[in-house]
Amino acid sequence: MESQLKYKVFTREKSVDELVYNCNLWTSDFEFIKIEISFLKRLLITFPFKSSIPNLFEKLQLFVRDLEQSDTIRTTIHETINTHNQQLRNKIKLKKISYDNEYLNSFDDMAEEVLAYLEDYKKLKKKIYEYVIGMINT
């Protein structure tokens, strides 16, 4: 799934506090997504749906596989966020509030990756919700 939105840098003038804040927001989102993926997988695996729908089991298994792949990507990105967050916190502790363009470019790349993941994850959820709603209505 390719994201339609692209991360846009509005200013290069970012404080360390702003970067930490962004990392904390993303961490919160990614921790919630972990719980959400677990719930959706359990919902699909427990199979509480009418079994007369053609290819139901296969379709649900594909959704579970997509959720597992999404969770693997989520874990990798979350680790990157945590690494950046720790680096920023170390800068604050050491009162080394400055950072170079290379770090900022790296942060912007991560932000772009986060946005793309969040967009792709929303698309996957939308497909699952639409499919499940269709089953409930039949």
> Among all chains, which residue has been given the structure tokens 């003038």?
13
Instruction: Please provide the DSSP assignment of 78-107 as one string.
Output: HHHHHHHHHHHHHHHHTT-----HHHHHHH
Q: At 127, is the pLDDT very low, low, confident or very high (cuts 50, 70, 90)?
A: very high
What confidence score (pLDDT) does residue 57 get?
86
Tell me the two tokens of residue 112.
């772009």
Q: Pick from 42, 31, 96: which is nearest to 64 by CA?
A: 42
Q: Is this prediction's pTM over 0.75?
A: yes
| Tens digits of residue pLDDT in 9-59 | 656 677 888 889 999 999 999 999 999 999 999 999 987 767 777 888 899
3-state secondary structure of 130: helix
pLDDT in tens, 46-92: 877 677 778 888 999 999 999 999 999 999 999 999 999 998 888 77
Query: Cα–Cα distance between 92 and 33 in angstroms, integer?
Result: 28
Return the pLDDT at 1.
47
85 with 24: CB under 8 angstroms? yes
pLDDT at 126 over 60: yes
| pLDDT tens, residue by residue, 106-124 | 898 999 999 999 999 999 9
